[in-house]
Amino acid sequence: MAEHNEKGKQGEEIAVKFLKNKGYKILETNWRLGKNEIDIIAMDGKFIVIAEVKTRQSNHFGEPEIAVTREKQKALIRAANAYVRMKKLDFEVRFDIISIILAKNTEQIHHIEDAFYPLL
């Protein structure tokens, strides 16, 4: 596995642990629909949380969350809609980004709740 893939997997594992420690119930990880993937699907009270995890070694080129482009947001929204329909869920959906920087001996986690909203 390429180093960036290993770093991404490590970041997702950190994010799952982080959310569990905040009381979230993890429903799915790496859920796929065609080419689209949702890193983490969780419950937070009355919300289904669709969490995109971005992991980097530094913020030298900007914070990791800037990599969640409008196109990525649209893909996440499509996948979330499909997930909710397939599971016949009746909860509000929230889109979060978990930004992780893994430097040599430190990790920084930035959890952005309601990071973006689907446009009508």
Class of domain 3-105: alpha beta
Q: Please name the residues in contact with 2: beta carbons below 8 A apart, sequence gap of 6 or more.
A: none
Tell me what pLDDT residue 118 has. 86
Question: Quick count: other Cβ atoms within 10 Å of Cβ 116?
Answer: 18
Cα separation, 97 vs 80, in Å, equals 14
Residue type, 45: G
pTM metric for this prediction: 0.91
- Look at the chain and count its residues: 120
- Low-confidence stretches of the chain (pLDDT < 50) are none
Helix (H, G, I), strand (E, B) or coil at 109: strand
Tell me what pLDDT residue 120 has. 55
Tell me what pLDDT residue 21 has. 98
Specify which residues 25 forms β-bridges with. Answer: 43
Paired tokens of 72: 């990525």
Cα separation, 104 vs 49, in Å, equals 30
Tell me what pLDDT residue 16 has. 98
